[in-house]
Structures are given as C-alpha cells and as structure tokens.
Amino acid sequence: MIKVVGINKSYSTTAILQNISFNIPDGQIIALFGPNGCGKTTLLKIIAGLDKQDSGEIKQLERSDDSDLRAGLVFQDHRFSLLPWMTIYKNIELTLISKIKSKKEREKRVDQIIDRLNLSRHQNKYPYQVSGGLSQLTAFGRALAFNPDIYLFDEPFSALDYQSALKLQQQFLSLWEKEKKSTIIVTHSIEEVILLADQIIIFSGLPAKILDIIPNNIPRPRNLEQLGGDLAQGIRQKIISIAQSFLI
Ligand SMILES: Nc1ncnc2c1ncn2[C@@H]1O[C@H](COP(=O)(O)OP(=O)(O)O)[C@@H](O)[C@H]1O
Ligand SMILES: [Mg+2]
C-alpha cells in the first residue's frame, strides 16, 4: 500500500495542491480526473520524487528504508516519449543500462519485454517509422522493463486517435492483468476510467482539492461491452454530476 498523506504544494505564491490524501492499495489502478492546470502532473512528479512538496508525505508501507519510490513513468505525447535517434529496441534497453550492467543479461531482459509486447517486428525501426500507438507501447515497455514499485501514467492515450487509444488500453490491461501492479493514471476520458480504474479521484480546479473518490467495482477482466452496462452508467452519472455541480 502506498499512502499519499496531506500533500500541499505552491509555486511561488500560487497554491496548487491543497491537502491531498488518498491510498493506493497494492495492485489497484487509481485514476486522477480533473480540469487542466489543477496540478495532476505536479502530483505525479511529487510521487515520483521529481518535485518536492511543501508539506505532507508519500509513504510506502512494508518498506523499511526511506528511499524514493521507483516509478515507471509514461507521458502524454508519444512524439517526446522516445529518443528519435535510437531504435525501439535501444530505447527500451536505455532504461536498463544503469540497472543491469551485463550486456548479455540486459539484452535478455529487453528481449523478454519485446516478446511480451509483441514488438519484435518493429524492434529495429526508429520512432518516426512507427505509429503513435506503437511509440506509446514502447514507452510502456520501458516502464515495464524497469520493474518499478508503481506506474505513473500522465494522459498516455490522449494524443492518440480513438482506435489507437482503444487498442493500447486493451494491450495495457492485458499486461496489467498479469502483474497487477499499482498504477496512477491521469485522464480526461470517462470511458478510460470506467475501463481501467478501481477508484476515480475527482479534483477541483486550482487550488486542487479532492472533491470525491468514486469506486469502480466493474468485475475484471474488463472488456469494451461493459462500457454500456448499468455499473458503467452509474459511474458516468456520478462523475458528470460532480463535474456539473462544480461548474455552478
Ligand atoms: N515548475 C513550475 N513552476 C511554476 N508553476 C508551475 C510549474 N509546473 C506547473 N506549474 C503551474 O502549476 C499548475 C498545475 O500544473 P500541472 O501540474 O501541470 O497541471 P495539470 O497536470 O493538472 O494540467 C499550473 O497552473 C501550472 O502553470
Ligand atoms: Mg498535466
């Protein structure tokens, strides 16, 4: 279990995050849903140890030392996810250079990841030679190769067309079903939260406070048909009514 406890953050005189607390139980997918500019990326950076909060803490229970969480990050824009002068294979290998010193061992790990993601046909291509969906799949592969404590995904599907996003969501879900790793995903898509999340955290605008945390009990493994079911409809209604009440 990872606990986000009372996080406050300001940039100069502007309050960004106000007393943000929630739990990430092992193996759950938590969605962060809220307006642009409310501090979702800032919160992910704080959790990853890339930015510093003013107060509050990120606790990982069951961990004896106080080192930072190891986070596997995937960002929004696939054009910036990968190094353009390296092949798909080398982009995945890059993440492992400091972690696995032996080249042979490292290549074994990269081969495993390429195999799991079905990327072998594309492994020698450069990012500009593959679709946005495949670039983002490679970015997921890098996060996977790193074997982090938690995945932090910042709108990873939002720069893709609808079909590519659906396909990549399915690919991510089937990977996730195998290892059930704790994940936080930032998204603006109600469909995405219904398909992926166990809990949906709704943020207000600046300074961001948590307006509500909605559980998503749709049974897993999930599929696209469930998006039209009664449980999905209930979640959709709740999100819309919170978003709406906030507009008034
Ligand atoms: N390094 C920074 N310095 C100053 N202000 C920042 C910095 N990073 C983000 N901000 C501001 O903090 C607010 C929240 O940004 P961000 O976390 O990117 O929001 P979101 O991801 O929810 O769209 C925005 O108003 C943004 O302009
Ligand atoms: Mg953001």
- pLDDT bin (cut points 50, 70, 90) of residue 66 is low
Edge-to-edge strand ranges of the sheet holding 150-154: 71-74, 150-154, 183-186, 29-33, 199-203, 210-215
Which residues are close to ligand 2, an ion, with C-beta < 5 A?
A: 41
Select from 154, 141, 150 the least CA-distant residue to 76. 154
Pocket test for ligand 1, best of 36, 41, 152, 203 (most atoms within 8 A of CB): 41
pTM summary value = 0.93
Token pair of 72 as six digits? 């596997």
Cβ neighbours of residue 40 closer than 8 Å, sequence gap 6 or more: 32, 34, 154, 186, 203, 208
Q: What is the pLDDT of residues 87-138, one digit of tens each?
A: 999 999 998 998 899 999 999 999 999 999 999 999 999 999 999 999 999 9
Select from 103, 122, 102, 105 the least CA-distant residue to 114. 122
Cβ neighbours of residue 245 closer than 8 Å, sequence gap 6 or more: none
- Cβ(39) – ligand 1 distance below 6 Å: yes
Position 84 scores a pLDDT of 93
User: What mean pLDDT is predicted for residues 173-186?
Assistant: 92
For the chain, give the percent of residues with pLDDT over 90: 79
Pocket test for ligand 1, best of 7, 11, 187, 209 (most atoms within 8 A of CB): 11
Instruction: Count how many residues are written for the chain.
Output: 248
- The atom number, within ligand 1, closest to the CA of 44 reads 17
- pLDDT bin (cut points 50, 70, 90) of residue 16 is very high
CB atoms within 10 A of CB 201: 23
Q: What is the pLDDT of residues 17-61, one digit of tens each?
A: 999 999 999 999 999 999 999 999 999 999 999 999 999 999 988
* Ligand 2 midpoint to CA 88 (Å): 25
- pLDDT bin (cut points 50, 70, 90) of residue 75 is confident
Q: List the residue whose alpha carbon is closest to atom 2 of ligand 1.
A: 11
- Cβ(13) – ligand 1 distance below 6 Å: no
User: Do 144 and 176 form a contact (C-beta atoms < 8 A)?
Assistant: no
Rounded to whole angstroms, the Cα distance separating 50 from 52 reads 7
Q: What angle do CA 139, 140, 144 make, to 5 degrees?
A: 120
Pocket test for ligand 1, best of 16, 76, 187 (most atoms within 8 A of CB): 16
Token pair of 136 as six digits? 């983002």
Say which ligand is closest to the CA of 37: 1
